[in-house]
Structure 1
Amino acid sequence: MDITGLLIFLAIGAVAGWLAGTFMKGRGFGLLGNIVVGIIGAVLGGFVFGLLGISAGGLIGSIVMATVGAALLLFIIGILKKA
């Protein structure tokens, strides 16, 4: 992966983490935490979308997939915090 691809991946992760934090009503972790959640969420979203046989292409598809994964990750973290 070249530096441009890495920067795009980080930007998508940041946007996805911010969106997921917004959708999950303030369950975000600040800017840096949201980037981490978004990156992990992008990987999780890709895995889940692959299991479901859903393909997301392009920049918007990547953001949607990463946001769904990040929201799922925030949901799981919320459940684990309560336990």
Structure 2
Amino acid sequence: MDLILMLLIGLAAGFAAGKVMKGGLNVFGNLIVGIVGSYVGGYAFRVLGLAPTGGLIGQLVTAFVGAVILLALVGLMKK
């Protein structure tokens, strides 16, 4: 059940980040970016000394921030 929840959060975060960053990737790419983004976002929050709130919303915000960071890096690499 945790795996399914993680995939759904990753998909939602990747989809939202793709919309915010004007473009994004296909559905599978957004899922991967959202999942990896959750780790990147968690790391970024720890480095900044911020602790995202627990629960579903906290996980979604963390994954979204990480996915936006990843999509920004991908955009820079494409140029």
Q: Same fold (TM over 0.5)?
A: yes
Of 4, 18, 43, which aligns to 1:21?
18
Counterpart residue number, 1:39: 35
Q: Write out aligned runs for 1:1-83 (5 A).
A: 4-26=1-23, 28-56=24-52, 57-82=54-79
Detail structure 1 runs of 4+ shifted over 2 Å in the superposition.
none
Question: Which whole-Å CA distance do the structure 2 matches of 1:20 and 1:51 have between them?
Answer: 21
Question: Which whole-Å CA distance do the structure 1 matches of 2:4 and 2:50 have between them?
Answer: 25
Question: Which whole-Å CA distance do the structure 1 matches of 2:9 and 2:50 have between them?
Answer: 19
Q: CA RMSD in A?
A: 0.7
Question: Which whole-Å CA distance do the structure 2 matches of 1:31 and 1:21 have between them?
Answer: 10
- Structure 1: which 5+ residue stretches go unaligned? none
Q: CA deviation at 1:58?
A: 1.0
Structure 2-normalised TM-score? 0.94
SS of residue matched to 1:55: coil
The one-letter code sitting in structure 2 at the alignment partner of 1:30 is N
- Structure 2: which 5+ residue stretches go unaligned? none
Number of residue equivalences: 78
